[in-house]
Amino acid sequence: MSGASGGALSLRGVTKDFGRTRAVEDVTLEIAQGEFVSLLGPSGSGKSTILMAIAGFVAPERGEILLDGRPILGLPPEQRAFGVVFQGYALFPHMTVAGNVEYPLKLRGIPRAERRERLAKALDQVRLGPLAGRYPRQLSGGQQQRVALARALVFEPPVILLDEPLSALDKKLRVDLQIELKALHERLGTTFVNVTHDQEEAMNMSDRIVILNEGRILQSGAPEALYNAPASRFVADFLGRAN
């Protein structure tokens, strides 16, 4: 199904400093509607900063970011329409699964009937319906992460931003969730931008991988293309190629 409309992103010459640290340097990147793109790089390479800039949470020093041709910082927050899942997936411990997922809808003043409908749909998309009445402490790490994902889906955003949502999970769960996320991506037809430092995860999940180091894009391409023709020693080493 491809019910999604919009979700094309353009980053043009994006540069972001934190004090004297240049976190992101001159990043230019086109992401097509419906693409699954992973930003892959070591810790401190600027991945999260790029994601936060796309979300409109940090303003770049230079450059601009467009969603479907319109500068995101000019859009009212509700039209930025990104679903964001962070590494820490902070759920509210005193709220049930349903309460957590419904919360952003309440904040926006969505009427009760529509809230119920959106809640049911989002829970269904991550197969959490049967656990709607549980509290976060009664869930596994993987289930908690799916709650965070459902909460990102309630507004049916054209772009989902994931910041290492799987990194805290053990290997088995991580692989299960990779498969689930891929299936979700295929069902929704939504653009996904996934931040990771896990080469295998990026290779498994992505239409395209963007390799970053020290705030700069080193290479970008389909997983096989990068693996078969790394543009530099760093890329080859980082992707785990022996030569």
Q: Which residues bind ligand ADP (CB under 6 A)?
A: 18, 21, 23, 41, 43-49
Q: Please, what is the minimum distance in Å from the beta carbon of residue 198 to Mg ion? A: 12
State the angle between helix axes of 141-153 and 97-107 in degrees (0 to 180), rounded to the nearest 10.
20
Q: What is the largest CA-CA distance in the chain?
A: 59
Q: Please, what is the minimum distance in Å from the beta carbon of residue 104 to Mg ion? A: 23
User: With respect to ligand ADP, which residue has the nearer C-beta, 87 or 204?
Assistant: 87
Q: Please, what is the minimum distance in Å from the beta carbon of residue 216 to ligand ADP? A: 11
User: With respect to ligand ADP, which residue has the nearer C-beta, 47 or 115?
Assistant: 47
Q: Please, what is the minimum distance in Å from the beta carbon of residue 21 to ligand ADP? A: 5
Short-list 179, 84, 183, CA closest to 125: 183
Interaction between residue 45 and Mg ion (CB under 5 A): no
User: With respect to Mg ion, which residue has the nearer C-beta, 48 or 144?
Assistant: 48
State which amino acid sits at residue 10: S
Query: Which residue is it, tokens 């411990």?
Result: 93
Which of ligand ADP, Mg ion, none lies near 79, with the C-beta cut-off 5 to 8 A by kind? none
Short-list 211, 228, 226, CA closest to 29: 211
Which of Mg ion, ligand ADP, none lies near 92, with the C-beta cut-off 5 to 8 A by kind? none
Say how far apart CA 99 and CA 91 lie, in whole Å: 10
Q: Please, what is the minimum distance in Å from the beta carbon of residue 23 to Mg ion? A: 10
Say how far apart CA 29 and CA 155 lie, in whole Å: 25
Say how far apart CA 213 and CA 198 lie, in whole Å: 14
Interaction between residue 213 and Mg ion (CB under 5 A): no
User: With respect to ligand ADP, which residue has the nearer C-beta, 49 or 194?
Assistant: 49
* Helix count and strand count (H, E) for the chain: 9, 10
Interaction between residue 48 and Mg ion (CB under 5 A): yes
Residues lying near Mg ion in the complex (CB under 5 A): 48
